[in-house]
A and B are shown apart, each in its own frame.
Chain A
Amino acid sequence: ELKVEQNPLFLSMQEGKNYTIYCNYSTTSDRLYWYRQDPGKSLESLFVLLSNGAVKQEGRLMASLDTKARLSTLHITAAVHDLSATYFCAVGAGYNFNKFYFGSGTKLNVKP
Chain B
Amino acid sequence: SQTIHQWPATLVQPVGSPLSLECTVEGTSNPNLYWYRQAAGRGLQLLFYSIGIDQISSEVPQNLSASRPQDRQFILSSKKLLLSDSGFYLCAWRTTGREQYFGPGTRLTVT
Question: Are B103 and A42 in contact, CB atoms less than 8 angstroms apart?
Answer: yes
Residue-wise interface mask of B (82-111) relative to A, using a CB-CB cutoff of 8 A (1 in contact, 0 not)? 000000001010101011111111010000
Contacts known (A33-B99, A98-B51); A104 close to B43, Cβ less than 8 A: yes
* CB neighbours of A88 from chain B (8 A): 43-44
A98 vs B55: C-alpha distance when bound (angstroms): 13
A87–chain B nearest beta-carbon distance, Å: 11
* CB neighbours of A100 from chain B (8 A): 34, 46, 100
Main secondary structure of the interface of A (DSSP, over half): strand
Residue of A nearest to B96 (CB): A96
Question: Would you call A102 an interface residue if the criterion is a C-beta within 8 Å of the partner chain's C-beta atoms?
Answer: yes
Question: Are A103 and B43 in contact, CB atoms less than 8 angstroms apart?
Answer: yes
Q: List 14 A-B contacts (CB under 8 A).
A: A33-B99, A35-B102, A40-B107, A43-B44, A45-B99, A88-B43, A96-B96, A98-B32, A98-B94, A99-B49, A100-B100, A101-B46, A102-B43, A102-B46
